[in-house]
Chain A
Amino acid sequence: GNSVTQMEGPVTLSEEAFLTINCTYTATGYPSLFWYVQYPGEGLQLLLKATKADDKGSNKGFEATYRKETTSFHLEKGSVQVSDSAVYFCALSGGGSEKLVFGKGTKLTVNP
C-alpha cells in the first residue's frame, strides 16, 4: 500500500538556519503530496502541496518539489524563525487510493 517515510527528529536549529526535512513515498500511479504542520496546541493545517510531478509547492517561505524520479518531496526553508517551531508531517493521497496517509512527523525547534 501507499506509504510515506520522513526524516525523524527532533530537529533543533538556530534562527536563520537552513532547514531540510526529507520525505520519500511509495505509491502506485500519481499521488498528490502534502506537507501539513501542527503548531503547539493546535490542529494540523496544510502548509503546501503539489499534485503532479515537478510541481513546486510553496508557502510562508517553505518549499517542496514533487520529484517522481526519486519519489521525494523534501521540505526546505532558507531561514527559519522561532515561530516555525512545530511538528511537520509529509502526506500523500491518491496513487490508486483516496486515503490520506502521513509520515511519522518531524518535530522542529528553532532557538533564538
Chain B
Amino acid sequence: GAVVSQHPSWVICKSGTSVKIECRSLDFQATTMFWYRQFPKQSLMLMATSNEGSKATYEQGVEKDKFLINHASLTLSTLTVTSAHPEDSSFYICSARVGSKDTEAFFGQGTRLTVV
C-alpha cells in the first residue's frame, strides 16, 4: 500500500515554544490530508482537513491560530503547534487520501508530543 511518512515520531518541547510536524505521502500525490489528535483510550478526533494550495478547514473547537496547517504541495502537509502548553501534549496523526470520499486514506505512524 501507499506510504505516509510522519516526522518526528516523538518530540519534547518547552512550554511556550512551537513545534512543527511533517506529513509526507512518499509514493502518491494526496488530494486531501487530514490531521487527527488521538486521546487516551484511543479516541481519534479530527482536527482539520486540508487540500493542496488552499486553507485548511478546521473542526469546531480547534484553534486555527494555535494549530497552523500548511499544505504546500500534493505530497507535504505540516502541522505547527504554536506556543505549546502541557495540555497540547498528545498523539498527533496525519492521513492522506487520493481522490474522493470512496477511497482509502493512508496514515502516518503518528507523533507523540510532550510539552514540559
Residues of B within 8 A of A43 (CB): 4, 93, 107-110
Binds A, one of B14-22, B63-71, B79-87, B96-104: B96-104
Taking CB atoms and an 8 Å cut-off, the chain A residues in 75-101 that contact chain B are 87, 89, 93-94, 98-101
Evaluate contact between A38 and B101: CB separation under 8 angstroms.
no
A2 to chain B, nearest CB (A): 10
Which of B1, B41, B97, B109 lies in contact with A100, CB distance below 8 A?
B97
Which secondary structure dominates where chain A touches chain B? Answer: strand
Whether the Cβ atoms of A102 and B44 lie closer than 8 Å is yes
Please report the C-alpha to C-alpha distance between residue A87 and residue B49 in the assembled complex, in whole angstroms: 23
Q: Whole-angstrom distance between the alpha carbons of A43 and B4 in the complex?
A: 10
C-alpha gap A2/B42 in the complex (Å): 20
The residues of A that contact B42 with a CB separation of less than 8 Å are: 38, 87, 89, 104-105, 107
B107 pairs with A45, CB closer than 8 A:
yes
A96's nearest neighbour on chain B, judged by CB, is: B101
B9 CB to closest chain A CB (Å) equals 11
Q: Shortest distance in angstroms between A35's beta carbon and chain B's nearest beta carbon? A: 11
Residue interface mask B23-58, A partner, CB < 8 A = 1: 000000000101010000111101001000000010
**What is B's interface to A at a CB cutoff of 8 Å?**
1, 4, 32, 34, 36, 41-44, 46, 49, 57, 93, 95, 97, 100-102, 104-105, 107-110
